[in-house]
Amino acid sequence: MLTVYDFKHKITVKVRFNEIDILGVCNNSVYITYFEEGRIQYMKHLGIIPPGQLFADGSKYYIVRNEVNYRGHAIYDDELDIYTRVSFIKNSSYGFEHLIYNRTQEKIITDGAGVIVKVDPLTGKSTDLDDSFMKLISNYDTEVKILK
């Protein structure tokens, strides 16, 4: 099982009022948004997404899989650390892993994974990831599995 020590990248968010459901806890769908923000900030941190230029290069990336495992919950105003890493890189796809640590409760409340595919904007078909992409990721996340 992954721990926070398996990750280099972390962002922190606070659970907002609009993210709480009728039961008084952070709605289960919100965790996907937290994962997404972690992925975007990870890519920005590595320079893969230049500041203010999301999608500027014309590339398209589609999420083809999301998985969330709920181990606990969060409530309004809890501070959450979102840990993100790339776990594998294939020809046209790569996988992310995530952990969400609730600072207020001092425990991991969620883990998950996702797969993203690079798609050619003209054909709509998957296309190979650039070697520079793989190099940036593997230099930062040295445990990433290259499965080409």
Average pLDDT of 48-64?
78
Question: Which three-class secondary structure state does DSSP give residue 36?
Answer: helix
Residue of 6, 26, 29, 32 lying closest to 14 (CA atoms): 26
Considering the four listed CATH numbers 3.40.800.10, 3.10.129.10, 3.30.70.890, 3.20.20.70, the one that applies to the domain covering 4-146 is 3.10.129.10
User: And the tokens for 67?
Assistant: 């998985």
| C-alpha angle 110-115-119 in degrees, rounded to nearest 5 | 150
Q: What pTM, to 2 d.p., does this model score?
A: 0.94
Span 59-112, pLDDT tens digits = 789 999 999 999 999 999 999 999 999 999 999 999 999 999 999 999 999 999
Cβ contact 109:71 at 8 Å: yes
- The amino acid that residue 91 corresponds to is N
Domain boundaries, the chain: 4-146
